[in-house]
């Protein structure tokens, strides 16, 4: 026996045709079943067995997928999914994943088409936000890693000695709004600067970073002997979708000779909607930027992206010269620089294909309309909440996130209500805290969510809460 391929491909081919039909049957009838259902113990136990010594037939494994995995999915492909910030995927994205897997390309580097596809996608991302199209960048798991890469690049631009010498007693200090995503403070922690080196700046009544407070804090830190090196602005905050005053932050960064990084995880896509693009003015001045194709871009998980304006500074933060990775002037080892010069990963999958196919298939205009439609659905929810005395709208709706609660219920009741709602299978929003109060948080990132979904969610809430 040699190799792992089947001797006879006929049965596998027939099975795979059936799989594809099932995949599109599910996609065509998306929303008919529950958004989520708890996984019974029996199904969980099916994944607790010793390492198999002998293999099982693909047919059997597929029947286990249908019985024990598919029904207990995360649910973000369903119109009722509005929790956290998750994209819903698309049919073309499903196909792209299959095609990419068939090639098995390792996109750490070398001279092959996948690298060119990734470069194209990076140029499109830069064009979308208005950064120079020759900006550097790479695809990563998500914005957690993209923000980390931006912060690492900025710290090494400020002090190139950090790479060999470590952070030691570094005085480097960064700034973000107190509403910034937790991955920003974790990036400071992972970078060795320590999460205390990230100053959290208060926000105004619209939950945007207070730029006067930022300027004052930078002055105070300089007087105390610290070295401010980065300002992190958020375009679309995770709790209520607020956009920091990016223009003002960019100006402060320039005046203070700081790096300007933008966390645009989901919000950067608002740049594609003409009516919302203006809110993000200033994003084009970013020195580096994080965004997720797997959120508002609807590309299947995972697909994050980091952009860095200055290619040399990006490479300075990550590139190495290693004899087993020698770059050639021709042959498969050509085509430098490689993606592994721009981030911590060496082996990487062909994420770019699903991104390229999604953007090329729908086009920027259609994706912008989808973004605007999500914002309109969010506005509809906010209007229904505001028009009804039983509800309270808890934060302004800048883009696509609506934080609301029931007027006469405490935190514990809201917590229970959201769990009941999840188990009902009708809708899956999540929760957050606004001004110390637990609230229901609906993030409309899902291109399948409509006004009808919102109506169904509110009816279910009213029945569950007996209001």
Ligand X SMILES: *Cc1c(COP(=O)(O)O)cnc(C)c1O
Residue 298: left (phi > 0), alpha (psi -120 to 50), or beta?
left
Provide the b/e sequence for 184-206 (b: ≥16 CB within 10 Å): bbbbbeebebeeebbbbbebeee
Please say which residue, 111 or 302, places its beta carbon nearer to ligand X.
302
- The secondary structure of residue 299, as a DSSP letter, is P
Adjacent-strand bridge partners of 209: 203
CB 59, min distance to ligand X, A:
35
Dihedral sign, Cα of residue 301, residue 261, residue 239, residue 381: negative
Q: In the chain, what is the straight-line distance between the N-terminal and C-terminal CA atoms, in Å? A: 68
Query: 109: helix, coil or strand?
Result: coil
CB 302, min distance to ligand X, A:
7
Please say which residue, 138 or 183, places its beta carbon nearer to ligand X.
183
- The secondary structure of residue 340, as a DSSP letter, is G
Which residue carries 């039983």 as its tokens?
390
Please say which residue, 235 or 440, places its beta carbon nearer to ligand X.
235
Residue 235: phi and psi, rounded to 5, are: -105, 90
CB 263, min distance to ligand X, A:
5
CB 175, min distance to ligand X, A:
16
Please say which residue, 186 or 437, places its beta carbon nearer to ligand X.
186
CB 290, min distance to ligand X, A:
7
Please say which residue, 248 or 263, places its beta carbon nearer to ligand X.
263
CB 294, min distance to ligand X, A:
7
Cβ atoms of 106 and 279 closer than 8 Å? no
C-alpha span between 209 and 178 (Å, rounded)? 8
Q: Which residues bind ligand X (CB under 6 A)?
A: 85, 142-144, 181, 183, 234, 236, 238, 263, 265-266, 292, 304
Query: 144: helix, coil or strand?
Result: helix
Please say which residue, 162 or 395, places its beta carbon nearer to ligand X.
395
CB 238, min distance to ligand X, A:
4
C-alpha span between 315 and 214 (Å, rounded)? 30
Which residue carries 């659905």 as its tokens?
377
CB 298, min distance to ligand X, A:
14
CB 190, min distance to ligand X, A:
13
Q: Where are the beta strands (DSSP E) in 358-428?
A: 391-393, 401-406
Please say which residue, 136 or 432, places its beta carbon nearer to ligand X.
432
Residues in the chain: 467
Please say which residue, 266 or 318, places its beta carbon nearer to ligand X.
266
Q: Which residue in the shown chain puts its C-beta closest to ligand X? A: 142
Edge to edge, the sheet with strand 136-140 lists 136-140, 304-308, 288-292, 259-263, 227-234, 172-177, 198-201
Residue 406: phi and psi, rounded to 5, are: -90, 135
Please say which residue, 144 or 170, places its beta carbon nearer to ligand X.
144
């Amino acid at each position: 026996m040699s190799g792992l391929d089947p001797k006879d491909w006929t049965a596998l081919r027939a099975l795979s045709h059936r799989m594809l039909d099932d995949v599109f049957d599910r996609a065509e009838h998306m929303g008919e079943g529950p958004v989520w259902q708890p996984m019974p113990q029996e199904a969980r136990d099916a994944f607790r067995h010793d390492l198999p010594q002998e293999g099982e037939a693909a047919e059997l494994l597929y029947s286990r997928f249908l019985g024990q995995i598919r029904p207990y999915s995360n649910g973000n492909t369903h119109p009722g999914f509005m929790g956290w910030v998750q994209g819903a995927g698309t049919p073309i994205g499903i196909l792209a994943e299959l095609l990419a897997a068939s090639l098995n390309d390792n996109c750490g580097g070398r001279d092959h088409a996948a690298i060119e596809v990734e470069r194209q996608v990076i140029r499109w991302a830069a064009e979308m936000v208005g950064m120079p199209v020759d900006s550097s960048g790479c695809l990563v798991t998500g914005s957690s890693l993209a923000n980390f890469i931006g912060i690492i690049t900025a710290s090494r631009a400020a002090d190139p000695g950090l790479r060999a010498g470590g952070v030691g007693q570094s005085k480097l200090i960064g700034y973000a709004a107190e509403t910034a995503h937790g991955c920003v403070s974790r990036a400071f922690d992972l970078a060795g600067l320590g999460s205390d080196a990230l100053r959290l700046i208060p926000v105004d009544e619209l939950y945007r970073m207070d730029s006067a407070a930022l300027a004052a804090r930078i002055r105070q830190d300089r007087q105390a002997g610290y070295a401010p090196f980065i300002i992190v602005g958020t375009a679309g905050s995770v709790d209520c979708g607020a956009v920091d005053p990016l223009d003002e932050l960019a100006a402060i960064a320039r005046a203070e000779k700081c790096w300007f990084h933008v966390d645009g995880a989901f919000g950067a896509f608002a740049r594609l909607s003409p009516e919302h693009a203006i809110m993000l003015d200033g994003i084009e001045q970013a020195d580096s930027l994080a965004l997720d194709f797997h959120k508002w871009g609807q590309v299947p998980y995972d697909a994050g992206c980091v952009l860095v304006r200055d290619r040399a500074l990006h490479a300075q933060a990550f590139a190495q010269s290693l004899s087993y990775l020698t770059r050639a002037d021709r042959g498969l080892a050509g085509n430098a620089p490689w993606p592994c010069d721009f981030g911590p990963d060496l082996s990487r999958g062909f994420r770019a294909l699903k991104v390229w196919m999604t953007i090329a298939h729908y086009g920027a205009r259609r994706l912008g309309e989808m973004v605007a439609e999500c914002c309109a659905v969010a506005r509809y929810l906010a209007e229904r909440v505001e028009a009804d005395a039983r509800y309270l709208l808890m934060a302004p709706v800048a883009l696509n996130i609506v934080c609301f609660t029931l007027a006469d219920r405490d935190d514990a009741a809201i917590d229970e209500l959201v769990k009941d709602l999840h188990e009902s299978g009708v809708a899956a929003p999540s929760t957050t805290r606004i001004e110390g109060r637990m609230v229901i948080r609906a993030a409309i990132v899902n291109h399948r969510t409509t006004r009808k979904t919102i109506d169904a969610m509110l009816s279910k809430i009213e029945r569950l809460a007996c209001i």
